[in-house]
Amino acid sequence: MLEKIFMALAAKMDIAGMFTVTMKSKRSIQSVVDDVEGTCLAYKFALLHSYNYHEVVASKGFPIERKVYIYEVCQAKAASMVLTSTPFFAPFMPCRIAVYEDAGSTVISTQNMQMMINAVKSDAALYKETSALFAHLQDMMTKLKG
């Protein structure tokens, strides 16, 4: 019963949009991927790890047709503040950016952090820092979009 209600609601709501921020680019995926490292530096994000996810799953016996790249990025000051005051956010860290192909477009996506940020409004300094981080992350994605 609950599943039917959820599916009915999901059909009327943009569930993916609630949980992600997505931008489509006319640039080639390789062009975007080539610019990730430099753009991270320009926006003061440390690039911690990157994954060619299409290669990872193919190496496990599950090849996929599209290219999918995942980047883990961090701003240490914000990470320190979050982990000091709200360690229950640890599973959502570091910030991730996905770059993938979909229907002939290059898509740049990240998780929508706004609900989590709103949860720390009572801590003005943390709220300001995490809001700025999310804004910078979206600005960086816009720059990558071109």
Check if the beta carbon of residue 29 is closer than 8 Å to that of residue 100.
yes
pTM: 0.87
DSSP 8-state assignment for residue 27: S
Q: Which domains does the chain have, with CATH numbers?
A: 22-145 (3.30.310.70)
Burial of 13-33, coded b for 16+ CB within 10 Å and e otherwise, reads: eeeeeeeebebebebebeebb
The three-state secondary structure class of 52 is: strand
From first to last of its 146 residues, what are the pLDDT tens digits of the chain? Answer: 667 776 666 665 667 777 899 999 999 999 999 999 999 999 999 999 999 999 999 999 999 999 999 999 999 999 999 999 988 889 889 999 999 999 999 999 999 999 889 999 999 999 999 999 999 999 999 999 99
Question: Quick one: which of 89, 79, 84, 93 has its CA closest to 119?
Answer: 89
